[in-house]
A = this chain, B = another copy of it.
Amino acid sequence: MTVYEVGPRDGLQNEPAVVPTARKLELVAKLAAAGLPFVEATSFVSPRWIPQLADADGVGAGLPDFPGVTYLALVPNARGLERLRAALASRTAPGLPELRPAVFVSASQSHNRKNQNRSIEEAMADIAGVVGEARTGRMRVRAYLSTVWGCPYEGAVEVDGVVRLTEQLLACGCYQVSLGDTIGVGTPAQTRRILERLLARLPAEALALHMHDTRGTALANVLAGLDMGIRCFDASVGGLGGCPYAPGASGNLATEDLVYMLHGMGFETGIDYRRLLEAGALAEQLVGRPLPGRALRAERAPV
């Protein structure tokens, strides 16, 4: 069972507070020390787009060394990949943990235009180039496909398009596509319909679920995925990354809640639940407010 921690990137990107680089690295270190095998640390998008992640070069250069952890960073285009490489090159110690690029695209045209200011087709062309170049440099690339369960502008999203884009992302060299319920509207019946279509053509290892808990359904959707053989899930420490439009509302599934359920069902994750709760308490300090994760609040842990 594999958990991808996305809090330092996907979480902090959606928080109003801008957290200093050193404190971000402290959070990343605590997550790696808790046994998270994959930690998405930052995003090499233009600092003008996302001021919260304007320090991507510093974060990429300063990633802490922990045995067994692999870091990821979002890369929207060739310029982003260059910056990721520069960050890698600037690191002084040899043998530091891997830093993988991750590419992203939406399953709905309107969301992709709003998010990236270009069409899905333009984004896919750029992704093919970035992935080709990254793989030439022996890097493995993960992909995020967002708005799979619904789009904030278009509503329903066609499963046909989801299947086609997932196959294209894998065909151009990504090792896995993480399917995102960006606005947290998914219910298990829909998750089953989407996964049935995908798993008829692709192995379960090629897929991950990135569920949002906006309406409380994240773990029910995870269960639907588990039952169908999915073994990779994304989550954000403490549920970091609320919905900007509803103060206190929840976006990302909290890593503690996910790990609590997986462990309770007998799945092994390699994650130390107690240390993960400590990372959640630190995340709350960084953003200066209680985070929406359920388990974190139920089992208050000292930092």
Contact = CB atoms under 8 A, between A and B. Distances in A.
Interface string A266-300: 10000000000000000000000010011101111
Of A185, A216, A295, most B-chain CB atoms within 10 Å: A216
B188 A248 contact: no
Contacts of A190: 264-265
A77 interface: no
Contacts of A216: 213, 216, 218-219, 253-254, 257, 260-261, 293-295
A156 to B, nearest CB: 12
B260 A298 contact: no
Nearest to A253: B216
A226 to B, nearest CB: 8
A250 interface: yes
Contacts of A250: 294, 297-298
A249 interface: yes
A261 B187 contact: yes
A214 interface: yes
Interface residues of A, number: 40
Interface string A141-167: 000000000000000000000000000
A214 B256 CA distance: 12
Nearest to A222: B220
A233 to B, nearest CB: 12
A265 B187 contact: yes
B294 A257 contact: no
A108 B300 CA distance: 25
A190 B243 CA distance: 32
A158 to B, nearest CB: 18
Contacts of A246: 297-300
Given A217-B219, A257-B216, A298 B249 contact: yes
19 contacts: A184-B298, A185-B264, A187-B264, A187-B265, A188-B265, A214-B294, A214-B298, A215-B257, A215-B299, A216-B260, A216-B295, A217-B264, A219-B219, A219-B220, A220-B222, A220-B223, A223-B224, A243-B298, A248-B290
